[in-house]
Structure formats: C-alpha cells, structure tokens
Amino acid sequence: MADQASATMKTLQVRSYGEPADVLHLEEVAIPSPKADRIRVRVHACALNPADWAVCKGFLAVPPPRGIGFDVSGAVDAIGEGVTGVNIGDLVFGVPDYRGYPTAGASEFAILAVWLPVPKGLDLVEAAALPMAVETATRSLDLLGLAAGQTIMINGGGTMTGFAAVQIALLRGAHVIASAGETFAGRLRDLGAKVTPYGDGMVERVRAIAGGAPDFALHTAQVTGALPDLIKIVDGDPRRVMSFADFDQDGLGVRTTGREKGLVPRYDVLGRYAQLAAEGRFTIPIARTFVLEDWREALDLSQNKRAHGKLVLLLDRAA
Ligand SMILES: NC(=O)c1ccc[n+]([C@@H]2O[C@H](COP(=O)([O-])OP(=O)(O)OC[C@H]3O[C@@H](n4cnc5c(N)ncnc54)[C@H](OP(=O)(O)O)[C@@H]3O)[C@@H](O)[C@H]2O)c1
C-alpha cells in the first residue's frame, strides 16, 4: 500500500498544452485514490506511445493538468468500491483512467480503468507493452473484416501497432505482406509475413508479391502521404484501406479509426494475447527501458520515428 504519511508520488504531467518537450515535466503530486470501479497500482512499467505526445498537445480535449502513459503494469495497491476479483498485491496490466484523473501511467502510482491479471510466465515489462498495440490492431482488423485466407498489406510492420497487426492477422489465417525497415524485417519474415521496404516503388513491389491486389491495406505508420499508394495497391478502392495513423486529411475516402464517435475499444482481447505472449506465441518487442528521469530520451526517439520497438519507463526499480 502507498505510504499515506508521505502521500506524494513522481509523475510525468502537463499543466498546459503545447509541444511535449516544453510542457511535459516530472512533477511531485498527491497520490490519487481510486474511485468506485477503479484500482490503484504501484506501477512497475509504463510503455510510451505516440499518443502520449498527442496528449501533451491537448488531444484529449479535457482541461490540464493531464498525465501521460496509456500502457501500464504493476502490483495492485488500493481497490475502489464495487471492484471484485482482484486483491492487494496482485500483478496486473492495463489502461489508466486518463480522462478521470490528472495523472496517468507514467507515475509511481496509477489508477486503472481496465486491468487484467499478468499471466504466469509473462514479464511485467512485456505485459505493459501490450494494451495499445493489441487493442488498436484488433479494432482495425475487425473493422476491415479481415478473414482467414484473405491477404492484407500492412504498411508499417515495424511500428508496434503494425507488428501486433501482422501477428494477429497471421494468427487468424490471413496472408500478410508488410512494409518495414531493417529492424524487424527478419522477425516479420520468421513470423510468416512477406516483407518489403517502405518508400519508392512500394506499390509495384507489394502487387508483385501479392500477384495482384491484396484484399485490404492497413496504414499504421506516423507518416502522411502514404494513403494514395495504399489505394493503388488495392486496385483503387479506398474502402479497402484502413488507417489509424493518418486521418485522411485529403478526403481520399479511406476508412479511419481512432477518432470516430462510438469507438468501441477492444480491451476484450487483451487477456487472450497476454496468455499467448506468456506462451511465447505473441510478442511486442521492447526497444529500450528508461528510468523515469530519462523520459526525454524516449520522447526524442519516439517523435523522430526511431523507436524501433516499445519504449518503456521503469517506475518501481525494486519490483
Ligand atoms: N487511432 C488509434 O486508435 C491509434 C492507436 C495507437 C496508435 N495510433 C497511431 O499509430 C501510429 C503508430 O503508432 P506506434 O506506437 O505503432 O508507432 P511506433 O512503434 O512508435 O512506430 C515507430 C516505427 O515506425 C516505423 N516507420 C518509420 N517511418 C516509416 C514509414 N515511412 N513507413 C512505415 N513505417 C515507418 C519505424 O520502424 P522501421 O524499423 O520499420 O523503420 C519506427 O520504428 C502513430 O501515428 C500513432 O499515433 C493510433
């Protein structure tokens, strides 16, 4: 349990919105208490995502102060009213209540809105890497309607959402062609994907590998300008292209997910993929771990699209 006598914690928080490097600071704040239907964890690991930098810029459209960190693992430390099935000390992973509290996962303590037990055999850092990548990949593949035997081109197999999407599509029995840089090309091939570099000539390369048009294309990389090529890859039909990374500012007609009203997050699948990860049948690669004080290094790598795996803060060095 948190020591109520000291009752403060370190957290990464913005007190006004702007460029992350300017507005994000390591603060000392009161340890939050869980409301009904929430639990508090002593955070062991918090994975960082491009979404964290969007939060710093005001993406959540709620007044600051606001915390960052959507992906967390740790030990249960306090339990809110109405919560059953979890005990103090249990190891869990999940998603903070980042709208309901002014701090989130990049904190010594976090209030979780979604949590699952860490399966036996799964490391706490690996567990923290799962939620956003698995949820986003599942949501987008299901919205596309990808089925066994179909072929999908995943643009950005080396992004962590893309790496998750490749594995999930393959586990469903789909054929996968992924664009990727050198970091994960070999691992993606070993998983069963056909891999080609992104960049010039990608349309022709992908269509040659597919022997025509794949059924679908999924855009996962934090770059603009790729959507017209993905439309060409699927024979000019923008409805066969899904993007959660570029929101089609040019009105091309591709499908997008992440900003729609009525979005249903796919947290229902997290337990299944955590179990697969514990069995060595699913993974989100960890690029580097950082102590909280070194968060600016992670920000720099992530913002420059050089993450090459998950960037994970370690909060509880003694755990
Ligand atoms: N809408 C939603 O619900 C939602 C949810 C989660 C994430 N997202 C968005 O999805 C995007 C990806 O997030 P993430 O966490 O998966 O990213 P990430 O892991 O941080 O992606 C970084 C990787 O992108 C790859 N990359 C760089 N330039 C590329 C290019 N031109 N084409 C393809 N890949 C390239 C690099 O891998 P290589 O080694 O292959 O070069 C790099 O390591 C972000 O824009 C994020 O905001 C949206």
CATH number (domain holding residue 102): 3.90.180.10
Residues 96 and 17 in one domain: yes
Mutational pocket test of ligand 1: of 60, 161, 177, the residue with most ligand atoms within 8 Å of the beta carbon: 161
Bridge pairing between strands 71-79 and 91-96: antiparallel
What pLDDT score was predicted for residue 317?
56
Q: Return averaged pLDDT per consecutive 10 residues of the chain, 319 residues in all.
A: 73 98 98 98 98 96 96 98 98 98 98 98 98 98 98 98 98 98 98 97 98 98 95 98 93 96 97 98 98 96 94 79
Phi, psi at 32, each rounded to 5°:
-75, 155
Compute the distance between CA of residue 225 and CA of residue 37 in angstroms, rounded to an integer.
42
Q: Are 156 and 164 in contact (CB under 8 A)?
A: no
Asked whether residue 172 is domain-assigned, the answer is yes
For residue 239, give the CATH number of its domain: 3.40.50.720
- What's the sign of the alpha-carbon dihedral 88, 92, 94, 95? positive
Residues 173 and 293: their CA atoms lie apart, in Å, by 43
Picking from 256, 272, 298, the residue at the C-terminal end of a domain is 256
In a domain, 262, yes or no: no
Could you tell me how far CA 298 lies from the centroid of its own chain?
Answer: 15
Tell me what pLDDT residue 233 has. Answer: 98
Structural domains in the chain (count): 2
For residue 207, the CA-to-ligand 1 centroid distance in Å is 22
Compute, in angstroms, the gap from residue 156 CA to the centroid of ligand 1: 7
Residue 176 in any domain: the answer is: yes
Total length of the chain: 319
Q: What is the pLDDT of residue 318?
A: 44
In a domain, residue 265? The reply is no
Regarding whether 74 and 47 lie in a shared domain, the answer is yes
Residue 33 lies in a domain: yes
Render pLDDT for 83-103 as a digit per residue (tens, 0 to 9): 999 999 999 999 999 999 999
* Domain-embedded: residue 166: yes
Query: Which element (helix H / strand E) includes 128?
Result: helix 124-128
74 and 164 part of one domain: no
Q: Which residues line ligand 1 (CB under 6 A)?
A: 49-51, 132, 136, 155-156, 158-162, 179-181, 183-184, 198, 220-223, 244-245, 257-258, 302, 305, 307-308
User: What was the pLDDT predicted at 274?
Assistant: 98
pLDDT tens-place string over residues 22-50: 999 999 999 999 999 999 999 999 999 99
Question: Within its chain, how far is the Cα of 16 from the centroid?
Answer: 24
- The whole-angstrom separation of Cα 179 and Cα 173 is 19
In a domain, 278, yes or no: no
Q: How far apart are CA 133 and CA 76, in angstroms?
A: 23
Phi and psi at residue 318, to the nearest 5° = -85, -15
Distance of CA 14 to the CA centre of its chain: 20
Domain of residue 72, residue span: 8-129+285-314
Inside any domain, residue 279: no
Strands 71-79 and 241-243: unpaired
